Amino acid sequence: MPVIVMASPKGGVGKSTCAVLLASEFARMGADVTVLDCDPNKSLTRWASHGVPTGVTLKNEIGRSEIVPTIRSADGDGKIVIVDLEGVASQLVSRAISQADLVIVPMQPTALDAEIGSEALALVREEEEALGRSIRHAVVLTKTSAAVKSRVQKELEEQLRGAGIDVIEPSLVARAAFSELFAYGGDLTAMMNDPEMMTGGKVDKALINAQAFAEAVYERLK
Amino acid sequence: MSGSNRLAGLKARPKGTTVEEVRRVDEVGEARGFLDRTPRKKPGRKPSPRTHQLHPKVFPEVGEAIAEEAENLGITQGQLIEQMWEIYRTTR
Protein backbone atom coordinates (compact mmCIF):
# COMPACT_ATOMS: atom_id res chain seq x y z
CA MET A 1 0.00 0.00 0.00
CA PRO A 2 1.21 3.51 -0.64
CA VAL A 3 3.45 5.61 1.57
CA ILE A 4 2.56 9.29 1.67
CA VAL A 5 5.15 11.66 3.12
CA MET A 6 4.44 15.23 4.24
CA ALA A 7 7.62 17.20 3.74
CA SER A 8 8.75 20.79 4.04
CA PRO A 9 11.76 22.10 5.91
CA LYS A 10 9.59 25.01 7.06
CA GLY A 11 7.46 24.66 10.16
CA GLY A 12 3.83 25.75 10.42
CA VAL A 13 2.93 25.15 6.78
CA GLY A 14 0.25 22.52 7.50
CA LYS A 15 2.08 19.18 7.30
CA SER A 16 0.37 17.78 10.39
CA THR A 17 -3.04 19.09 9.32
CA CYS A 18 -2.67 17.42 5.91
CA ALA A 19 -1.61 14.19 7.63
CA VAL A 20 -4.62 14.20 9.97
CA LEU A 21 -7.10 15.00 7.19
CA LEU A 22 -5.76 12.29 4.89
CA ALA A 23 -5.56 9.68 7.65
CA SER A 24 -9.15 10.41 8.71
CA GLU A 25 -10.54 10.38 5.18
CA PHE A 26 -8.70 7.24 4.05
CA ALA A 27 -9.76 5.46 7.25
CA ARG A 28 -13.35 6.54 6.55
CA MET A 29 -13.01 4.89 3.13
CA GLY A 30 -12.20 1.65 4.92
CA ALA A 31 -8.42 1.57 4.76
CA ASP A 32 -6.10 0.70 7.61
CA VAL A 33 -3.92 3.73 8.04
CA THR A 34 -0.67 3.93 9.98
CA VAL A 35 0.44 7.44 10.82
CA LEU A 36 4.08 8.01 11.75
CA ASP A 37 4.63 11.09 13.87
CA CYS A 38 8.26 12.06 13.26
CA ASP A 39 7.86 15.65 14.39
CA PRO A 40 9.50 16.53 17.73
CA ASN A 41 6.52 18.84 18.38
CA LYS A 42 4.37 15.69 18.44
CA SER A 43 1.32 17.39 16.90
CA LEU A 44 -0.16 14.07 15.74
CA THR A 45 0.52 12.41 19.08
CA ARG A 46 -1.37 15.25 20.75
CA TRP A 47 -4.21 14.80 18.26
CA ALA A 48 -4.25 11.03 18.89
CA SER A 49 -4.21 11.51 22.67
CA HIS A 50 -7.82 12.78 22.36
CA GLY A 51 -8.83 9.74 20.31
CA VAL A 52 -8.14 8.55 16.77
CA PRO A 53 -10.75 7.58 14.14
CA THR A 54 -11.40 3.87 13.67
CA GLY A 55 -8.79 2.35 11.35
CA VAL A 56 -6.00 4.75 12.27
CA THR A 57 -2.91 3.64 14.21
CA LEU A 58 -0.28 6.09 15.35
CA LYS A 59 3.42 5.43 15.90
CA ASN A 60 5.81 8.00 17.32
CA GLU A 61 9.33 8.41 18.71
CA ILE A 62 10.81 7.59 15.30
CA GLY A 63 14.32 8.87 14.66
CA ARG A 64 16.67 8.94 11.70
CA SER A 65 17.84 5.36 12.27
CA GLU A 66 14.32 3.95 12.63
CA ILE A 67 12.49 5.75 9.83
CA VAL A 68 13.27 3.38 6.94
CA PRO A 69 12.60 0.09 8.82
CA THR A 70 9.48 1.57 10.46
CA ILE A 71 8.02 2.60 7.09
CA ARG A 72 8.95 -0.80 5.65
CA SER A 73 7.29 -2.73 8.46
CA ALA A 74 4.14 -0.59 8.42
CA ASP A 75 3.98 -0.79 4.62
CA GLY A 76 4.36 -4.55 4.82
CA ASP A 77 1.24 -4.79 6.94
CA GLY A 78 -0.84 -3.78 3.94
CA LYS A 79 -1.69 -0.38 5.35
CA ILE A 80 -1.57 3.11 3.97
CA VAL A 81 1.33 4.82 5.65
CA ILE A 82 1.28 8.56 6.25
CA VAL A 83 4.47 10.17 7.51
CA ASP A 84 4.41 13.54 9.21
CA LEU A 85 7.92 14.99 9.25
CA GLU A 86 9.66 17.65 11.28
CA GLY A 87 9.84 21.15 9.84
CA VAL A 88 13.62 21.19 9.46
CA ALA A 89 16.12 20.07 6.84
CA SER A 90 17.33 16.76 8.26
CA GLN A 91 18.46 13.29 7.21
CA LEU A 92 15.24 11.97 8.69
CA VAL A 93 13.39 13.95 6.00
CA SER A 94 15.63 12.82 3.14
CA ARG A 95 15.38 9.17 4.21
CA ALA A 96 11.58 9.31 4.53
CA ILE A 97 11.28 10.86 1.06
CA SER A 98 13.24 7.94 -0.38
CA GLN A 99 10.49 5.58 0.82
CA ALA A 100 7.55 7.60 -0.50
CA ASP A 101 5.02 6.78 -3.20
CA LEU A 102 3.82 10.36 -2.95
CA VAL A 103 5.53 13.34 -1.33
CA ILE A 104 3.17 16.19 -0.47
CA VAL A 105 4.77 19.57 0.13
CA PRO A 106 2.31 21.86 1.91
CA MET A 107 2.93 25.54 1.32
CA GLN A 108 1.14 28.68 2.39
CA PRO A 109 0.78 31.13 -0.47
CA THR A 110 3.69 33.31 0.63
CA ALA A 111 7.08 33.94 -0.93
CA LEU A 112 8.89 32.61 2.15
CA ASP A 113 6.95 29.32 2.22
CA ALA A 114 7.51 28.88 -1.50
CA GLU A 115 11.23 29.52 -1.21
CA ILE A 116 11.78 27.13 1.71
CA GLY A 117 9.31 24.54 0.40
CA SER A 118 11.14 24.48 -2.92
CA GLU A 119 14.10 22.96 -1.04
CA ALA A 120 11.99 19.86 -0.42
CA LEU A 121 10.96 19.72 -4.09
CA ALA A 122 14.58 20.04 -5.19
CA LEU A 123 15.59 17.29 -2.76
CA VAL A 124 12.92 14.95 -4.18
CA ARG A 125 14.25 15.51 -7.68
CA GLU A 126 17.83 14.90 -6.60
CA GLU A 127 16.83 11.71 -4.80
CA GLU A 128 15.03 10.55 -7.95
CA GLU A 129 18.26 11.02 -9.85
CA ALA A 130 20.39 9.30 -7.20
CA LEU A 131 18.03 6.33 -6.89
CA GLY A 132 17.19 6.04 -10.57
CA ARG A 133 13.44 5.97 -10.04
CA SER A 134 10.66 8.53 -9.93
CA ILE A 135 9.13 9.72 -6.67
CA ARG A 136 5.78 11.32 -7.29
CA HIS A 137 5.44 14.66 -5.57
CA ALA A 138 2.95 17.51 -5.41
CA VAL A 139 2.41 20.82 -3.68
CA VAL A 140 -0.75 21.67 -1.80
CA LEU A 141 -1.39 25.28 -0.91
CA THR A 142 -2.64 25.65 2.65
CA LYS A 143 -4.37 28.24 4.80
CA THR A 144 -5.76 29.87 1.68
CA SER A 145 -8.62 32.34 1.72
CA ALA A 146 -12.13 30.89 1.61
CA ALA A 147 -13.51 33.98 -0.10
CA VAL A 148 -11.14 34.86 -2.92
CA LYS A 149 -7.96 33.52 -4.49
CA SER A 150 -5.32 36.13 -3.71
CA ARG A 151 -3.03 37.54 -6.38
CA VAL A 152 -0.04 36.01 -4.61
CA GLN A 153 -1.71 32.59 -4.65
CA LYS A 154 -2.54 32.87 -8.35
CA GLU A 155 1.03 33.87 -9.19
CA LEU A 156 2.50 31.11 -7.06
CA GLU A 157 0.29 28.48 -8.67
CA GLU A 158 1.31 29.76 -12.09
CA GLN A 159 4.99 29.65 -11.20
CA LEU A 160 4.74 26.14 -9.77
CA ARG A 161 2.82 24.78 -12.75
CA GLY A 162 5.21 26.61 -15.08
CA ALA A 163 8.08 24.74 -13.42
CA GLY A 164 6.29 21.46 -14.06
CA ILE A 165 5.25 20.97 -10.45
CA ASP A 166 1.99 19.19 -9.71
CA VAL A 167 -0.31 21.43 -7.63
CA ILE A 168 -3.13 19.67 -5.79
CA GLU A 169 -6.60 21.15 -6.24
CA PRO A 170 -8.35 22.09 -4.06
CA SER A 171 -6.06 23.99 -1.74
CA LEU A 172 -6.72 23.67 1.97
CA VAL A 173 -8.63 26.71 3.12
CA ALA A 174 -7.87 28.39 6.46
CA ARG A 175 -10.59 26.83 8.62
CA ALA A 176 -10.86 26.95 12.39
CA ALA A 177 -12.10 23.35 12.34
CA PHE A 178 -8.76 22.13 10.96
CA SER A 179 -6.90 23.67 13.91
CA GLU A 180 -9.49 22.48 16.39
CA LEU A 181 -8.99 18.85 15.34
CA PHE A 182 -5.81 18.94 17.41
CA ALA A 183 -7.72 20.05 20.47
CA TYR A 184 -10.57 17.52 20.13
CA GLY A 185 -8.92 14.57 18.35
CA GLY A 186 -10.93 12.30 16.05
CA ASP A 187 -12.13 13.58 12.69
CA LEU A 188 -14.28 16.31 11.20
CA THR A 189 -17.36 14.05 10.93
CA ALA A 190 -17.23 13.33 14.66
CA MET A 191 -16.70 17.02 15.32
CA MET A 192 -19.73 17.93 13.24
CA ASN A 193 -21.95 15.33 14.92
CA ASP A 194 -20.96 16.10 18.50
CA PRO A 195 -22.93 19.04 19.93
CA GLU A 196 -20.49 19.22 22.86
CA MET A 197 -17.69 20.35 20.58
CA MET A 198 -17.42 24.11 20.29
CA THR A 199 -15.93 25.21 17.02
CA GLY A 200 -15.38 28.69 15.77
CA GLY A 201 -15.91 27.82 12.12
CA LYS A 202 -17.95 25.96 9.57
CA VAL A 203 -17.17 22.28 10.07
CA ASP A 204 -19.33 21.20 7.11
CA LYS A 205 -17.31 23.35 4.72
CA ALA A 206 -14.08 22.13 6.25
CA LEU A 207 -15.24 18.53 5.74
CA ILE A 208 -16.10 19.14 2.07
CA ASN A 209 -12.67 20.71 1.58
CA ALA A 210 -10.90 17.80 3.32
CA GLN A 211 -12.80 15.19 1.30
CA ALA A 212 -12.00 16.90 -1.99
CA PHE A 213 -8.34 17.12 -0.96
CA ALA A 214 -8.24 13.41 -0.05
CA GLU A 215 -9.92 12.55 -3.37
CA ALA A 216 -7.26 14.52 -5.25
CA VAL A 217 -4.53 12.67 -3.35
CA TYR A 218 -6.24 9.34 -4.06
CA GLU A 219 -6.18 10.11 -7.80
CA ARG A 220 -2.40 10.55 -7.55
CA LEU A 221 -1.95 7.18 -5.87
CA LYS A 222 -3.82 5.13 -8.46
CA MET B 1 -15.67 9.52 -1.35
CA SER B 2 -17.72 6.46 -0.69
CA GLY B 3 -17.38 4.32 2.41
CA SER B 4 -16.27 1.29 0.42
CA ASN B 5 -12.56 0.55 0.47
CA ARG B 6 -11.52 1.80 -2.95
CA LEU B 7 -8.00 2.04 -1.61
CA ALA B 8 -7.54 -1.72 -1.39
CA GLY B 9 -6.35 -1.85 -4.99
CA LEU B 10 -3.59 0.66 -4.43
CA LYS B 11 -0.11 -0.77 -4.49
CA ALA B 12 3.20 0.54 -3.26
CA ARG B 13 6.05 0.79 -5.70
CA PRO B 14 9.22 -1.15 -4.86
CA LYS B 15 11.77 1.01 -3.05
CA GLY B 16 15.38 0.45 -2.22
CA THR B 17 16.39 0.06 1.39
CA THR B 18 19.93 -1.27 1.08
CA VAL B 19 22.74 0.37 3.03
CA GLU B 20 24.17 1.65 -0.24
CA GLU B 21 20.86 3.28 -1.27
CA VAL B 22 20.41 4.89 2.15
CA ARG B 23 23.99 6.19 1.92
CA ARG B 24 23.25 7.72 -1.49
CA VAL B 25 20.10 9.36 -0.12
CA ASP B 26 22.06 10.74 2.84
CA GLU B 27 24.72 12.16 0.52
CA VAL B 28 22.17 13.87 -1.70
CA GLY B 29 20.39 15.27 1.37
CA GLU B 30 23.57 16.49 3.04
CA ALA B 31 24.61 18.33 -0.12
CA ARG B 32 21.34 20.27 0.14
CA GLY B 33 21.64 20.90 3.89
CA PHE B 34 19.49 18.02 5.07
CA LEU B 35 21.84 16.92 7.83
CA ASP B 36 21.80 14.47 10.70
CA ARG B 37 20.08 16.47 13.41
CA THR B 38 19.70 13.70 15.95
CA PRO B 39 20.13 15.32 19.38
CA ARG B 40 23.59 14.60 20.76
CA LYS B 41 24.20 13.41 24.30
CA LYS B 42 25.55 16.06 26.67
CA PRO B 43 29.36 15.97 26.50
CA GLY B 44 31.58 15.44 29.53
CA ARG B 45 31.56 13.02 32.41
CA LYS B 46 28.37 12.12 34.18
CA PRO B 47 27.90 13.69 37.63
CA SER B 48 28.92 11.40 40.49
CA PRO B 49 26.13 9.85 42.56
CA ARG B 50 28.38 10.47 45.61
CA THR B 51 26.78 13.68 46.77
CA HIS B 52 27.20 13.49 50.55
CA GLN B 53 30.17 15.28 52.04
CA LEU B 54 32.13 14.40 55.19
CA HIS B 55 34.24 16.99 56.96
CA PRO B 56 36.19 15.03 59.61
CA LYS B 57 39.25 16.67 61.17
CA VAL B 58 42.07 14.19 61.70
CA PHE B 59 45.77 14.40 62.56
CA PRO B 60 47.83 15.46 59.54
CA GLU B 61 49.71 12.14 59.34
CA VAL B 62 46.38 10.21 59.23
CA GLY B 63 44.98 12.48 56.52
CA GLU B 64 48.19 12.12 54.49
CA ALA B 65 48.17 8.34 54.93
CA ILE B 66 44.56 8.08 53.72
CA ALA B 67 45.35 10.27 50.71
CA GLU B 68 48.43 8.20 49.87
CA GLU B 69 46.61 4.88 50.22
CA ALA B 70 43.75 6.07 47.99
CA GLU B 71 46.23 7.19 45.36
CA ASN B 72 48.08 3.88 45.53
CA LEU B 73 44.78 2.00 45.06
CA GLY B 74 43.72 4.29 42.22
CA ILE B 75 40.50 5.32 43.94
CA THR B 76 39.21 8.48 45.54
CA GLN B 77 39.45 9.16 49.26
CA GLY B 78 35.67 8.91 49.39
CA GLN B 79 35.77 5.42 47.88
CA LEU B 80 38.47 4.39 50.36
CA ILE B 81 36.32 5.61 53.26
CA GLU B 82 33.38 3.64 51.80
CA GLN B 83 35.54 0.48 51.72
CA MET B 84 36.73 1.11 55.28
CA TRP B 85 33.14 1.62 56.39
CA GLU B 86 32.09 -1.63 54.70
CA ILE B 87 34.84 -3.58 56.51
CA TYR B 88 33.94 -1.90 59.82
CA ARG B 89 30.26 -2.64 59.30
CA THR B 90 30.78 -6.33 58.47
CA THR B 91 33.37 -7.09 61.14
CA ARG B 92 32.12 -5.26 64.23
Domain enclosing residue A192, as ranges: 3-221
Report mean pLDDT in 10-residue bins for chain A, 222 residues: 94 96 93 93 94 93 92 80 94 96 96 92 95 95 92 94 95 93 90 76 90 95 87
What pLDDT does A76 receive? 65
Count structural domains, chain A.
1
Contact A91 B26 (CB under 8 A): yes
CA angle A212, A217, B1 (to 5 degrees): 45
Which residues of A are less than 8 Å from B6 in CB distance?
A: 29-30, 218
A11 residue type, one letter: G
Cα–Cα distances in Å, from A194 out to A48, A74, A189, B21? 17, 32, 9, 48
For chain A, positions 149-208, list CB contacts with chain B under 8 A.
none
A83 residue type, one letter: V
Q: What is the pTM of this model?
A: 0.83
The CATH code of the domain that includes A158 is 3.40.50.300
Structural domain boundaries in chain B: 60-91
DSSP string over A81-99? EEEEPPSS-BHHHHHHHHT
CB A141 within 8 Å of CB A153: yes
CB pairs under 8 A between A and B: 116
The pLDDT tens digits for B25-69 are: 999 999 999 999 888 888 888 888 999 999 999 999 999 999 999
- Say yes or no: B18 contacts chain A, CB-CB below 8 A: no
Which residues of A are less than 8 Å from B19 in CB distance?
A: none
